[in-house]
Chain A
Amino acid sequence: MNIMNTEPNSPALIMTGIGKSFPGVRALNNVDFKLRHGEIHALMGENGAGKSTLVKVLTGVYSMDEGSVKLDGKPVGIRSPQDAQKYGISTVYQEVNLCPNITVAGNLFLGREPRTMGLIDWRQMNRKAAELLQELNISADPTAQLDSYSIAIQQMIAIARAVNTECKFLILDEPTSSLDTDEVEKLFSLMRQLKGNGVGIIFITHFLEQVYEICDRITVLRNGELVGEYEVENLPRLELVTKMMGKEIENLSNLNIDRDESKFEGEVPIIEARDLSSGASKVAPFDLKMYKGEVVGFGGLLGSGRSELVRTIYGADKAVQGQLFIKGKSAKIRNPLDAMKKGMAYLPEDRKVDGIFADLSVRENIIIALQAKRGTFKRLTRKEMEKYADEYIALLNIKTASIETPMKSLSGGNQQKVILARWLLTNPEFMILDEPTRGIDVGTKTEIQKLILKLAGEGKSVAFISSEMDEMLRTCSRMVIMRDQYKVGELTDSDLNQNTIMRTIAGGEEGR
């Protein structure tokens, strides 16, 4: 029983039975997690799986409701980020949390500068910084200003800073999402080196390739529950995706990514993208055709580029190359207003951040897009606004005290319906719905799914993104699959089943 510390491969950090609730949400339920010294451990899961909650519990940002944490066999209570720091747990986030306008050395030693007689000893600080950087093979000048380096180097400096504080465990929260391939390689070699030094690393990413390149173990979470812990060699990609999305593979059928276009033969697509791209870090060049009266699903893991693809069509992200044709005519979309004028509508992924005007009334939230389309001087009269608002509140069954109620006092589902109403009012031909059913109650979900089918029935073309595959299978006649910023396939008819979708999302070699 006392081999805990001597056994090299035994877990050094053990979290047991972790539970955490927020008002109305069970974010973590009885989750176990183990991390060994000198391993790189991927924490995987889709949206709402509980990854970030687990990390925040571990780093003392949240206090846990149930469960315990043991470090090297001893139970510890981590109540604040300072506690975590004290126990040697450091975190580096996607956005570099350093001061861009002071030197590299200054950043490395910020708050714990070496001092002589109360004054900062710059020379000693620069020397120590140089030693640290050299030790970790980071090519940066300690006296240069931090923002003179690329994000990748800055991230490595952030890691160096974290490691320098007696770090035993390092959490990397999506460090690679803004890096290019070379930079990722550099980061990985640093991670390998830290691993060699015995640091246990928790690596959060949504790039499957990277998990298989660098990680030793994978822990999968789903809906706040532990799915399991696996050795990387024993978990093929497809199984990983299956576990993340929570569907079992029943039978194996061959992947067929040829799209059946016979249905639309001779018809001019409403939207046609040729080689369209908004830059490699967002979405790689893709071709796409969308026809009247169809619902096309956009599948892929979180961060695979599915949202970026539709944003590029809508002009929310600027296209850097390629062409867009609307009903066969070449169209220049420079901003969302251009897209709206060409008959597009876009319900954004993040309702709170990109969708609602919290302090404006339901009425104003409904008419705002139509008003923007009409322009400043063709103002809708109060009567017209009220008529439209009443009409759509009735049509979509929106529950609100009155049309003058501020948007912020509506429930999530009703807010989403208001945004749907906003777009329906502009009478679009092509609607982009990015996660229209996220975070809303089951009843409203079904209503929205029915609405999507009804819209397609009326001849609109709908691009539909959802993290829930069932929902897409139920509504879509075709699915576009994204992986790591690339459009990797289109599935129709008999291919439109969970197996094939999972397979396409996972990609890569089967046996890994």
Chain B
Amino acid sequence: MSDFSKGNKPAKLASKPFINRLLSNRLTFSVVILLIVVVQNIITTPTFFNISITNGLISGYIPNILDEASELVIVTLGMTLVIAVSGGVDISVGAIMVVAASFSGLLLNGSEYRTEVFHNPYILALFVGLLGGALCGAFNGFLVSGLKIQPMIATLILYTAGRSIAKQITYGQTIYIMNPTYKWLGVQIPGIPIRTTIIVSTIIIILVVLLTRLTSLGLYVQSVGINGSSARLVGLNSRVITFMAFVICGVLAGAAGLVGSSSVGSVNSGELGVGIEMDAILAVALGGNTLSGGKFSIAGSVIGAYTIQAITTTLYAMDVRADQLNVFKAFIIILIIVASSEVFKGKIKKLTRKLFSKNVSVGGLRDERQ
């Protein structure tokens, strides 16, 4: 009786040209960009791949990129979840970094601006810092999921207020934490030749992957982002899921703040994490994730974040001055954004199809002649 012998649709999928499948794979783009940057470096900076050990630390351009990208990578992970679940962005991540770092710095320093003595256990301070991040995330999450405020507007509040709140609780001062133990997180744990930032960011990447893969959170986040109405009807609580994504984003931003402040040994509310929100959004986009929410790829976002740092480091390696850096960066970003746009991709697909059909029609002509 049934009816499916003809009109089968999916057979088409398999016969899609390879180039189209490659174009539609979300990871392709970010990998290609990263490869371009790497190849560029092979040509212009021969020392790029050199690795040496100085002062008991593995160093070189690549370890450097991994080190300096670590804050961005950690923030980008949270941003990925927020964008996927809400189709909006969290622009307060930089400010949350400062809040978290101030919380823990204050706990360690007591009431002193500059001290070598820890007033509280280091672990406790780290925990409180993360807690501060979580609170900020919960505040954002409440505004977005409870009050249905647009994510960008909701997070604008902490974006504006976060740094000055942090400054208030640190008595309007940059606080310096001189105890060498403080630098363990951001520089090096004695005896380990790898920068701690690289270790920490790797661990956090693994944790987030586990969180989204071992629990069904990843699936829920995507479901809510793709179709909130369907999600509700299959029994998902979109509100709680959205809220959780913002909390996770806050905790991760907090972690990035702790790493960042540890690597410089101080909490400076005017410098820590400035502008990182935009880089994180860009990293998510570079990773092939749609900014309107839905499906996400952690791998893509991570590659995106490292790509951004690689571009920066490459430009430095090419002796671009710090004050010129942003001009170059902007130029590269324009290229990347244009190349990743649907319109551009569509044009390329059309072009390949044209080339393909030209071959066919040439064959046809030949047939006619005979």
**Chain B: CB-nearest residue to A444:** B3
Taking the nearest CB of chain A, how far is it from the CB of B212, in angstroms? 10
Decide yes or no whether B57 CB sits under 8 A from chain A: no
Using A399-B9, A410-B9 as known contacts, say yes or no to A359 and B1 having CB atoms under 8 A apart: no
B13 A397 Cβ-Cβ under 8 A: no
Inter-chain CA distance A376–B216, complex, in Å, is 5
Taking the nearest CB of chain A, how far is it from the CB of B23, in angstroms? 15
A337 B235 Cβ-Cβ under 8 A: yes
Inter-chain CA distance A375–B220, complex, in Å, is 10
Inter-chain CA distance A401–B227, complex, in Å, is 23
A355 B230 Cβ-Cβ under 8 A: yes
Residues of A within 8 A of B261 (CB): none
B294 A397 Cβ-Cβ under 8 A: no
Decide yes or no whether B312 CB sits under 8 A from chain A: no
Inter-chain CA distance A283–B23, complex, in Å, is 49
Decide yes or no whether A249 CB sits under 8 A from chain B: no
Inter-chain CA distance A380–B215, complex, in Å, is 9
Decide yes or no whether A335 CB sits under 8 A from chain B: yes
Decide yes or no whether A364 CB sits under 8 A from chain B: yes
Taking the nearest CB of chain B, how far is it from the CB of A197, in angstroms? 42
Decide yes or no whether A248 CB sits under 8 A from chain B: no
Taking the nearest CB of chain A, how far is it from the CB of B40, in angstroms? 34
Decide yes or no whether A336 CB sits under 8 A from chain B: yes
Decide yes or no whether B322 CB sits under 8 A from chain A: no
Q: Which of A211-219, A365-373, A453-461, A482-490 contacts B (4 or more CB under 8 A)?
A: A365-373
Inter-chain CA distance A188–B3, complex, in Å, is 50
One digit per residue, 1 when the CB lies within 8 angstroms of any chain A CB and 0 when it does not, for chain B 276-296 equals: 000000000000000000110
**Chain A: CB-nearest residue to B236:** A372
Decide yes or no whether A358 CB sits under 8 A from chain B: yes
B226 A357 Cβ-Cβ under 8 A: yes
**Chain A: CB-nearest residue to B225:** A359
Residues of B within 8 A of A397 (CB): 2, 4
Inter-chain CA distance A116–B1, complex, in Å, is 74
How many of B's residues come within 8 Å of A, CB to CB?
A: 32
Taking the nearest CB of chain A, how far is it from the CB of B224, in angstroms? 10
State which of A335, A371, A409 has its C-beta within 8 Å of the C-beta of B13: A409
Inter-chain CA distance A357–B295, complex, in Å, is 10
One digit per residue, 1 when the CB lies within 8 angstroms of any chain A CB and 0 when it does not, for chain B 129-161 equals: 000000000000000000000000000000000
B223 A357 Cβ-Cβ under 8 A: yes
State which of A353, A399, A422, A441 has its C-beta within 8 Å of the C-beta of B10: A399
Decide yes or no whether B222 CB sits under 8 A from chain A: yes
B219 A371 Cβ-Cβ under 8 A: yes
Taking the nearest CB of chain A, how far is it from the CB of B209, in angstroms? 14
Residues of B within 8 A of A446 (CB): 1, 3
Taking the nearest CB of chain B, how far is it from the CB of A435, in angstroms? 14
B4 A443 Cβ-Cβ under 8 A: yes
Using A354-B230, A356-B230, A399-B9 as known contacts, say yes or no to A376 and B4 having CB atoms under 8 A apart: no
B219 A368 Cβ-Cβ under 8 A: yes
Enumerate B1-35 residues with CB–CB distance to A below 8 Å. Answer: 1-4, 7-11, 13-14
One digit per residue, 1 when the CB lies within 8 angstroms of any chain B CB and 0 when it does not, for chain A 397-416 equals: 10111100100011100000
Decide yes or no whether B365 CB sits under 8 A from chain A: no
B232 A336 Cβ-Cβ under 8 A: yes
B8 A399 Cβ-Cβ under 8 A: yes
Taking the nearest CB of chain A, how far is it from the CB of B215, in angstroms? 5
Inter-chain CA distance A9–B237, complex, in Å, is 58
Inter-chain CA distance A348–B234, complex, in Å, is 10
**Chain B: CB-nearest residue to A338:** B235
One digit per residue, 1 when the CB lies within 8 angstroms of any chain A CB and 0 when it does not, for chain B 219-250 equals: 11011001101111111110000000000000
Taking the nearest CB of chain A, how far is it from the CB of B217, in angstroms? 6
Inter-chain CA distance A379–B218, complex, in Å, is 11
Residues of B within 8 A of A368 (CB): 219, 223, 234, 236
Decide yes or no whether A340 CB sits under 8 A from chain B: yes
Residues of A within 8 A of B43 (CB): none
Decide yes or no whether A346 CB sits under 8 A from chain B: yes
Using A357-B226, A368-B223, A399-B4 as known contacts, say yes or no to A376 and B233 having CB atoms under 8 A apart: no
A401 B1 Cβ-Cβ under 8 A: no
B10 A346 Cβ-Cβ under 8 A: no
Decide yes or no whether A235 CB sits under 8 A from chain B: no
A372 B14 Cβ-Cβ under 8 A: no
A401 B233 Cβ-Cβ under 8 A: no
Residues of A within 8 A of B295 (CB): 359-360
Decide yes or no whether A287 CB sits under 8 A from chain B: no
A405 B229 Cβ-Cβ under 8 A: no
B2 A335 Cβ-Cβ under 8 A: no
Taking the nearest CB of chain A, how far is it from the CB of B324, in angstroms? 41
Decide yes or no whether B214 CB sits under 8 A from chain A: yes
Decide yes or no whether A316 CB sits under 8 A from chain B: yes
B229 A353 Cβ-Cβ under 8 A: yes
- Which of B1, B2, B215, B233 has the largest number of chain A CB atoms within 10 A? B233
**Chain A: CB-nearest residue to B218:** A379
Inter-chain CA distance A335–B233, complex, in Å, is 8
Inter-chain CA distance A396–B14, complex, in Å, is 23
Taking the nearest CB of chain A, how far is it from the CB of B146, in angstroms? 16
| 13 pairs of residues in contact across A and B, judged by CB atoms under 8 Å | A336-B233, A355-B230, A359-B294, A364-B219, A368-B234, A377-B216, A379-B214, A399-B8, A399-B10, A409-B9, A411-B9, A444-B3, A447-B2
Given contacts A354-B229, A376-B220, 15 further A-B contacts (CB under 8 A): A335-B235, A335-B237, A353-B227, A354-B230, A356-B227, A357-B222, A357-B231, A358-B227, A359-B222, A364-B219, A364-B223, A376-B217, A397-B4, A405-B10, A409-B9
Q: Which 7 A-B pairs rank lowest in CB-CB distance, beginning with the nearest?
A: A443-B3, A401-B10, A337-B235, A372-B235, A369-B234, A401-B13, A340-B235
